[in-house]
Chain A
Amino acid sequence: MRDFASIVIWLFVASFWEVVVAPLVSIYGVKPDIGMIIVIYMALFNRNPVALIFGFFWGVVVDSMVPGNLGWSALLYLLVGYGIGHISTRFHWGTFAAQILLVFGAVAFYQTGHFVVLNFDEPNTFVFHFVRYGLTTALYSTLIWGLLRYFPGIHQVGKAA
């Protein structure tokens, strides 16, 4: 029950960020992927299955804006949550550099999948969208993770794994 409540609260926190905060911190249309940051945090700290469930539902929430693609983001977030939760037991993610790489890689993976689906009918625009929004979103999200690392408790991420 507590995990369920935690997931619902995090879903609302992420929604609040998307609706209220993201437009304020957006730089030329690029905003950090807070959903992915939460998935990574959960995967490293809470491990599965909380990260999996949050990732799945957050993906559904994200896809609500583009009903035609419903399910894709859920799948991508799910895979990221599962993947990180899976490898976190085998590697040590306590170092800052490792976490940076992890966040950047995860966001870049999601953005790749996201733009592949979005630009499925127009493959030529994929590179532009991926470079213009995908990589920049990955960089921005990594920066936010770097800043959040100084928050109390965040530095414990990785050690728990």
Chain B
Amino acid sequence: MASIQFGSVRRNRALFPIGLIILSFLLILSPMGMKEYIAEIGIEIFYLPIENIKGKFEDLYKVREHARRLEAELEKAKLQLSYFTDAVEENRRLREFLSLETDYGLKLIPAEIVKLPDIPNQCSVIINVGSDFGVRPDMAAIAPDGLAGKVKRVYDNSSEVQLLIDPSSRVSAVDNRSRVQGILKFNPIDGMILDNVPVHEDIAEGDTIKTSGVGGVFPQGIPLGVVAHFKIGSTSYFFAEIKVEPFVKFSRLERLFIMDNASR
């Protein structure tokens, strides 16, 4: 192939290297301006395009690295935001608890729920404060929205709180508007009901039900719920059927405050 393409070179085999050598010496002996000009052409043709492409790839790599770093920072920021959101929510709940202490004028013992019921029907929770913190049986356990239950058993560092949704729970309650009294209890079929209210009593849907203080277990005036349904004569001719929607969302309980009755 070389013999075809460089046929003239082959014919002048001796002259060709000599010609290139002479050309080299001409380059060596050429003035500096000429050398710089030729060097500039060489750089522009062979080095600069490759340098530019290399630079672009390096930039691309840097951008990718930067994007990866930003992505990691974004994930970190998301986690922090989630943490701060939780902290804000916790702060809000704690403020609500603090306002409860002012509202009821009683000493409140803060408690965290550390164990939920093992059995779905068992409606009690374990909290992380016990007799060491001054918790005693039958103390009221309140949530920001209202009464959650009462302390059933007390250990050194923990206690069991019976929630209002326990079928065996009973609370003396009163209609905040008409002052009609009844017993608030829970059964799995009807939900929370206000029992023992005669049919002729003045109860209306939307009335707020609070603790009456009768019996001495719960202080008076702790919100319990709102009358959601009022019906006469369906189950009994003597007592009204009153369904109460509790204020406390029992499935979302995280913290409770135990009301120290002795501090009254």
Contacts and interface: CB of A to CB of B under 8 A. Distances in A.
B21 interface: yes
A75 B2 contact: no
A61 to B, nearest CB: 5
Most buried by B among A72, A75, A79: A75
Interface of B: 1-2, 5-6, 9-10, 13, 16-17, 20-21, 23-30, 32, 35-36, 38-43, 46-47, 50-51, 54
Contacts of A12: 46, 50
Interface string A93-112: 00000000000000000000
A74 B21 CA distance: 9
Contacts of A82: 17
B42 A61 contact: yes
A56 to B, nearest CB: 5
Contact of A52 (B17, B29, B46, B50): B17
Given A3-B5, A49-B9, A52-B16, A71 B25 contact: yes
The 6 closest A-B pairs by CB, nearest first: A71-B27, A64-B42, A71-B28, A67-B39, A75-B24, A15-B46
Given A60-B42, A63-B39, A67-B39, A74 B2 contact: no
A141 B38 CA distance: 28
A47 interface: yes
A70 B2 contact: no
B36 A71 contact: no
B16 A56 contact: no
Interface of A: 1-4, 11-12, 15-16, 18-20, 46-50, 52-53, 56, 59-61, 63-65, 67-68, 70-72, 74-75, 78-79, 82
22 contacts: A3-B1, A3-B6, A11-B46, A15-B50, A16-B50, A18-B47, A46-B2, A47-B2, A48-B16, A50-B6, A52-B16, A56-B20, A61-B47, A63-B39, A64-B38, A64-B43, A68-B35, A70-B28, A70-B30, A72-B28, A75-B25, A78-B17
A49 B36 contact: no
Given A15-B46, A15-B47, A48-B13, A68 B32 contact: yes
B28 A48 contact: no
A4 B38 CA distance: 20
B17 A48 contact: yes
Given A50-B6, A67-B35, A78-B21, 15 more contacts: A11-B46, A19-B47, A52-B17, A59-B24, A60-B38, A64-B39, A64-B43, A65-B39, A70-B39, A71-B25, A71-B27, A71-B30, A71-B35, A75-B25, A82-B17
A142 to B, nearest CB: 25
Contacts, number: 101
A56 B51 CA distance: 22
Given A16-B50, A70-B38, A78 B43 contact: no
Contacts of A74: 23-24, 27
A50 B2 contact: yes
A128 to B, nearest CB: 25
A59 B5 CA distance: 23
A78 B22 CA distance: 11
Contacts of A72: 24, 28
A2 B2 CA distance: 9
A19 B39 contact: no
A19 B6 contact: no
Contact of B54 (A20, A48, A49): A20
Contacts of B30: 70-71
Contact of B26 (A53, A61, A71, A78): A71
Contacts of A47: 2
Contacts of A68: 32, 35
Nearest to B1: A2
Contacts of A71: 24-30, 35
Contacts of B23: 56, 74
A70 B43 contact: no
